[in-house]
Amino acid sequence: MDEFTKNWLNDVGFKHLANKFEEEEINENNLLLLTESMLVSLIPKMGQRASMINELEKLKKSKEAIQFENKTPLTIESLLNMDIVIEEKDNFIKSILEQYQDGLFII
Protein backbone atom coordinates (compact mmCIF):
# COMPACT_ATOMS: atom_id res chain seq x y z
CA MET A 1 0.00 0.00 0.00
CA ASP A 2 1.34 3.42 -0.88
CA GLU A 3 1.41 6.53 1.32
CA PHE A 4 -1.50 8.14 -0.51
CA THR A 5 -3.83 5.23 0.26
CA LYS A 6 -2.62 4.97 3.85
CA ASN A 7 -3.17 8.71 4.43
CA TRP A 8 -6.51 8.68 2.65
CA LEU A 9 -7.80 5.78 4.77
CA ASN A 10 -6.75 7.67 7.88
CA ASP A 11 -8.33 10.94 6.69
CA VAL A 12 -11.71 9.36 5.93
CA GLY A 13 -11.88 7.35 9.15
CA PHE A 14 -10.93 3.91 7.87
CA LYS A 15 -7.48 3.60 9.42
CA HIS A 16 -8.55 0.24 10.85
CA LEU A 17 -8.68 -1.17 7.30
CA ALA A 18 -5.09 -0.27 6.45
CA ASN A 19 -3.76 -3.79 7.07
CA LYS A 20 -6.46 -5.35 4.90
CA PHE A 21 -5.78 -2.87 2.08
CA GLU A 22 -2.06 -3.61 2.37
CA GLU A 23 -2.70 -7.38 2.22
CA GLU A 24 -4.75 -6.86 -0.92
CA GLU A 25 -2.05 -4.59 -2.42
CA ILE A 26 -4.43 -1.69 -2.92
CA ASN A 27 -2.67 1.51 -3.96
CA GLU A 28 -3.72 4.92 -5.26
CA ASN A 29 -4.22 3.67 -8.81
CA ASN A 30 -6.35 0.64 -8.08
CA LEU A 31 -8.16 2.28 -5.15
CA LEU A 32 -10.17 4.23 -7.70
CA LEU A 33 -11.02 1.02 -9.55
CA LEU A 34 -12.63 -0.74 -6.58
CA THR A 35 -16.22 -1.75 -7.20
CA GLU A 36 -19.00 -2.33 -4.70
CA SER A 37 -18.69 -6.09 -5.17
CA MET A 38 -14.95 -5.94 -4.45
CA LEU A 39 -15.64 -4.01 -1.26
CA VAL A 40 -17.92 -6.78 0.06
CA SER A 41 -14.93 -8.96 0.90
CA LEU A 42 -12.85 -6.04 2.16
CA ILE A 43 -15.58 -4.50 4.32
CA PRO A 44 -18.16 -7.05 5.49
CA LYS A 45 -20.28 -4.59 7.48
CA MET A 46 -22.82 -2.92 5.22
CA GLY A 47 -22.82 0.44 7.01
CA GLN A 48 -19.05 0.81 6.80
CA ARG A 49 -19.11 -0.36 3.19
CA ALA A 50 -21.72 2.28 2.32
CA SER A 51 -19.55 4.95 3.94
CA MET A 52 -16.50 3.70 2.01
CA ILE A 53 -18.44 3.81 -1.27
CA ASN A 54 -19.42 7.39 -0.50
CA GLU A 55 -15.82 8.37 0.28
CA LEU A 56 -14.55 6.67 -2.88
CA GLU A 57 -17.09 8.60 -4.96
CA LYS A 58 -15.88 11.87 -3.42
CA LEU A 59 -12.28 10.90 -4.17
CA LYS A 60 -13.10 10.02 -7.78
CA LYS A 61 -14.88 13.34 -8.29
CA SER A 62 -12.00 15.32 -6.81
CA LYS A 63 -9.49 13.44 -8.99
CA GLU A 64 -11.64 14.08 -12.07
CA ALA A 65 -11.82 17.77 -11.22
CA ILE A 66 -8.05 17.97 -10.88
CA GLN A 67 -7.55 16.15 -14.19
CA PHE A 68 -10.04 18.48 -15.85
CA GLU A 69 -8.25 21.56 -14.52
CA ASN A 70 -4.83 20.29 -15.55
CA LYS A 71 -5.59 18.81 -18.97
CA THR A 72 -8.60 20.49 -20.48
CA PRO A 73 -8.21 23.88 -22.11
CA LEU A 74 -10.98 26.32 -21.34
CA THR A 75 -13.09 26.70 -24.45
CA ILE A 76 -16.57 27.98 -25.08
CA GLU A 77 -17.64 24.49 -26.10
CA SER A 78 -16.29 22.92 -22.89
CA LEU A 79 -18.08 25.57 -20.83
CA LEU A 80 -21.39 25.00 -22.58
CA ASN A 81 -21.10 21.22 -22.20
CA MET A 82 -20.35 21.34 -18.46
CA ASP A 83 -22.90 20.00 -16.05
CA ILE A 84 -23.29 23.05 -13.84
CA VAL A 85 -25.50 22.55 -10.84
CA ILE A 86 -26.58 26.10 -10.21
CA GLU A 87 -29.74 27.92 -11.06
CA GLU A 88 -28.16 30.73 -13.05
CA LYS A 89 -25.96 28.90 -15.57
CA ASP A 90 -25.78 31.90 -17.93
CA ASN A 91 -24.51 34.21 -15.19
CA PHE A 92 -21.94 31.62 -14.18
CA ILE A 93 -20.60 31.33 -17.72
CA LYS A 94 -20.58 35.12 -18.10
CA SER A 95 -18.54 35.52 -14.89
CA ILE A 96 -15.98 33.02 -16.21
CA LEU A 97 -15.78 34.70 -19.61
CA GLU A 98 -15.23 38.08 -17.98
CA GLN A 99 -12.00 36.76 -16.47
CA TYR A 100 -10.39 36.25 -19.88
CA GLN A 101 -9.52 38.83 -22.50
CA ASP A 102 -10.93 36.69 -25.32
CA GLY A 103 -14.03 36.04 -23.24
CA LEU A 104 -14.88 39.74 -23.26
CA PHE A 105 -15.40 39.59 -27.03
CA ILE A 106 -18.00 36.86 -26.60
CA ILE A 107 -20.03 38.75 -24.03
pTM: 0.60
Res. 107: pLDDT tops 70:
no
Kindly report, residue by residue over 44-93, the tens digit of the pLDDT: 999 999 999 999 999 988 877 665 555 556 566 666 666 655 555 567 67
- What pLDDT sits at residue 98? 77
Q: What is the dihedral of CA 69, 71, 77, 79, to 10 degrees?
A: 0
By CB neighbour count within 10 A (0-12 exposed, 13-18 middle, 19+ buried), where does 72 fall?
exposed
Percent over 90 (pLDDT), the chain? 51
Same domain, 65 and 25: yes
**Arithmetic mean of pLDDT over the chain:** 82
Q: The domain spanning residue 27 has which CATH number?
A: 1.10.150
State how many domains the chain has.
2
- Between the CA of residue 73 and those of 23, 24, 57, 70, what are the distances in Å? 40, 37, 25, 8
Distance, in Å, from the CA atom of 107 to the CA atom of 97, rounded to the nearest integer, reads: 7
- What pLDDT sits at residue 105? 67
Same domain, 46 and 18: yes
Same domain, 63 and 42: yes
Residue 18 is part of which domain span? 1-72
DSSP 14-68: -GGGHHHHHHTT--HHHHTT--HHHHHHH--SHHHHHHHHHHHHHHHHHHHHHHH
